[in-house]
């Protein structure tokens, strides 16, 4: 007998011509140690992992590069431009990342406000346009604004990444309507990036029909990151499956589940 | 003439051997050229060219790699 899941036909998760099995992407920052990071990433089932570009520590007093711990043959490395607050800086970091030689994908961030880490959408569009022209596959971290998402699509991005809530906040999906609208209106993959705090946030996000989620702090700052990574893997699958299954309509009044007939006198 | 010159390496002034190539600079720092990306005066120098580019006094060299991030 076929299980329920076998009756579902999901479309492949393809970004910039590459197809992935897992719809969960994870970051590699802020873990208490590298062993926990590696085990959490394994438990998440993620194939795409994000990394940042920084100066080599010439004094070697701090940890070595992340690639000493993660096998770039096993994971698809997605470099980010985190920390950049101008289009010019973001382009510079993206070029350095590309030169590292793993792939032409970049998660483009241009931060416009240091307290909220909300994106500078004008700088983002400017940087995206330059990098697309240079052949980069740009995944653009943006806010949940439809018009910006449409402009990023027009600019030739490979995916748009609207936030659920501010980076590292764990506030969950604050604006399901806007994220749903972006997904409905764009042809591009929509991957929600930032803000999920726990498994229900991830599930609710995937139930909006988006193509995937990227998270970092929700795993790294959990009391047990490996267990949370497992929970997130299940939540992303549950949310995606529920979306494909199609939820029942909402009603303002009750409808009995048991027959009205056959009641005793 | 001094045997060393001052350059700015990852934002800090550092004395290096006069006429050293970027590849020799990496070797002196015990860095694997495959594990870092080199920017010389704001221009990325590809790995095959590292042995051909020599640093001059006052040059800015940045050595970057991937670290954990979200």
Backbone Cα Rg of chain B? 12
Strands (E), A5-91: 13-15, 18-20, 24-27, 48-55, 76-80
Q: Is residue B23 part of a domain?
A: yes
Please tell me the predicted confidence (pLDDT) of residue A61.
Answer: 60
Within 10 angstroms of residue A74's Cβ, the number of other Cβ atoms is: 10
The DSSP symbol for B49 reads: G
Q: What is the largest distance, in Å, between two alpha-carbon atoms of chain A? A: 87
- Expressed as residue numbers, the domain containing B27 is 4-64
Q: Percent helix, strand and coil across chain B, each rounded to 5?
A: 20, 45, 40
Domain containing residue A147: CATH number:
3.20.20.70
Nearest by CB to residue A82, choosing from B36, B37, B70, is B70
Residues 6+ apart with CB under 8 A from A105: A15, A16, A18, A76, A78, A79, A136, A137, A139, A158
The pTM for the full model equals 0.91
* C-alpha B48: how far from chain center: 14
pLDDT > 60? residue A1: no
Give B30-68 pLDDT, tens digit per residue: 998 988 999 999 999 999 999 999 999 999 999 999 999
Average pLDDT over residues B4-31: 94
Number of domains in chain A: 1
> Is B49 part of any domain?
yes
Q: Is residue A260 part of a domain?
A: no
In a domain, B53, yes or no: yes
CB contact under 8 A, B66 and A79: yes
Q: Answer whether residue A68 is part of any domain.
A: yes
Give contacts of B41 with chain A, Cβ < 8 Å. none
Euclidean distance between CA atoms B36 and A110, whole angstroms: 23
pLDDT of residue A3 exceeding 60, the answer is no
pLDDT band at A95 (very low <50, low <70, confident <90, very high): very high
What are the C-alpha distances in Å from A127 to residues A56, A82, A121? 25, 13, 10
Whether residue A77 lies within 8 A of chain B, CB to CB, comes out as yes
pLDDT tens for each residue of A196-254: 999 999 999 999 999 999 999 999 999 999 999 999 999 999 999 999 999 999 999 99
Position B59 in a domain: yes
Rg (Cα) of chain A, in Å, rounded?
Answer: 20
Among candidate residues A30, A62, A73, A107, the one labeled active-site is A107
- Taking CA atoms, A37 is separated from A40, A46, A190, A222, B42, in Å, by 5, 12, 26, 12, 33
Residue A129 has, within 13 A of its CA and on its CB side, a CA count of 11
pLDDT at residue B5, as a whole number = 95
Å from A3 to nearest chain B CA?
36
For residue A39, being part of any structural domain is answered with yes
B70 in any annotated domain: no
pLDDT for res A76: 96
Does A150 map to a domain?
yes
Task: Residue A84: count other Cβ atoms within 10 Å of its Cβ.
Answer: 22
Question: Nearest chain B Cα to A49, which residue?
Answer: B70
B40 located within any domain: yes
Structural domain total, chain B? 1
- Position A4 scores a pLDDT of 58
Nearest Cα to Cα of residue B6 among B63, B62, B56, B64: B56
pLDDT at A63: 58
**Shortest distance, CA A216 to any CA of chain B (angstroms):** 5
Q: Work out the pLDDT band at A9, boundaries 50, 70, 90.
A: confident
| Both structure tokens of A93 | 């970091």
Structural domain contains residue A2: no
Chain B residue with minimal CA distance to A168?
A: B70
Q: Are B17 and B3 in contact (CB under 8 A)?
A: yes
| A265: in domain | no
Looking at the partner chain, which of A53, A67, A216 has a beta carbon nearest the beta carbon of B70? Answer: A216
Structure tokens at A257: 């589940």
**B57 located within any domain:** yes
Alpha-carbon distance A32 to A220, whole Å? Answer: 7
Q: Does A24 touch chain B (CB under 8 A)?
A: no
Residue A77's SS3 state is strand
Domain annotation covers residue A1: no
A82 close to B (CB below 8 A): yes
**Beta carbons of B64 and A95 less than 8 Å apart:** no
| Domain annotation covers residue A256 | no
Residue A125: other Cβ atoms inside 10 A: 21
The verdict on a CB contact (< 8 Å) between A217 and B9 is: no
Structural domain including A211 reads: 23-56+64-245
Poorest-pLDDT segment among A1-15, A80-94, A191-205, A243-257: A1-15
A166 CB within 8 Å of a chain B CB? no
The answer to whether residue A107 is catalytic is yes
pLDDT one-digit tens code per residue, A97-120: 999 878 999 999 999 999 999 999
> For the purposes of burial, counting CB atoms within 10 Å of the CB of A198, is it exposed (0-12), middle (13-18) or buried (19 or more)?
middle
Residues of B contacting chain A (CB within 8 angstroms): 9-12, 29, 31, 35-37, 39, 42, 44, 46, 62-70
Q: Which CATH number goes with the domain that contains B25?
A: 3.10.20.30
* Structure confidence at residue A132 (pLDDT): 98
């Amino acid at each position: 007998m076929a299980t329920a899941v076998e009756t579902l036909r999901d479309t492949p998760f393809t970004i910039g011509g590459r197809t992935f099995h897992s719809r969960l992407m994870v970051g590699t920052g802020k873990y208490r140690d590298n062993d926990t990071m590696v085990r959490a990433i394994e438990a998440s089932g993620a194939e795409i992992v994000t990394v940042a570009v920084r100066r080599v520590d010439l004094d070697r007093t701090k940890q070595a590069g992340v690639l000493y711990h993660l096998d770039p043959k096993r994971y698809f490395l997605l470099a980010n431009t985190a920390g950049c607050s101008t289009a010019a800086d973001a382009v510079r970091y993206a070029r350095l990342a590309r030169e590292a030689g793993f792939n032409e994908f970049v998660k483009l961030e241009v931060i416009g406000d240091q307290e909220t880490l909300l994106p500078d959408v004008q700088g983002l569009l400017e940087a995206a346009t330059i990098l697309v022209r240079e052949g980069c596959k740009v995944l653009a971290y943006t806010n949940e604004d439809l018009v910006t998402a449409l402009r990023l699509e027009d600019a030739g991005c490979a995916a748009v990444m609207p936030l659920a809530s501010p980076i590292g906040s764990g506030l969950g999906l604050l604006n399901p309507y806007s994220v749903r609208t972006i997904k409905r209106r764009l042809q591009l993959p929509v991957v929600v990036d930032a803000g999920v705090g726990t498994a229900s946030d991830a599930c609710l996000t995937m139930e909006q029909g988006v193509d995937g989620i990227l998270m970092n702090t929700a795993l790294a700052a959990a009391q047990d990151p490996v267990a949370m990574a497992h929970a997130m893997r299940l939540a992303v699958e549950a949310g995606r499956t529920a979306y494909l299954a199609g939820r029942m309509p909402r009603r303002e009044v009750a409808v009995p589940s048991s027959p009205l007939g056959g009641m005793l006198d | 003439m001094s045997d060393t010159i001052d350059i700015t390496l990852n934002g800090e002034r550092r004395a290096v051997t006069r006429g050293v190539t970027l590849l020799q600079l990496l070797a002196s720092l015990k860095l694997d050229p495959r594990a870092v990306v080199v920017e010389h005066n704001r221009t990325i120098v590809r790995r095959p060219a590292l042995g051909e580019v020599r640093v001059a006094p006052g040059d800015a060299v940045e050595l970057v790699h991937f670290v954990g991030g979200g």
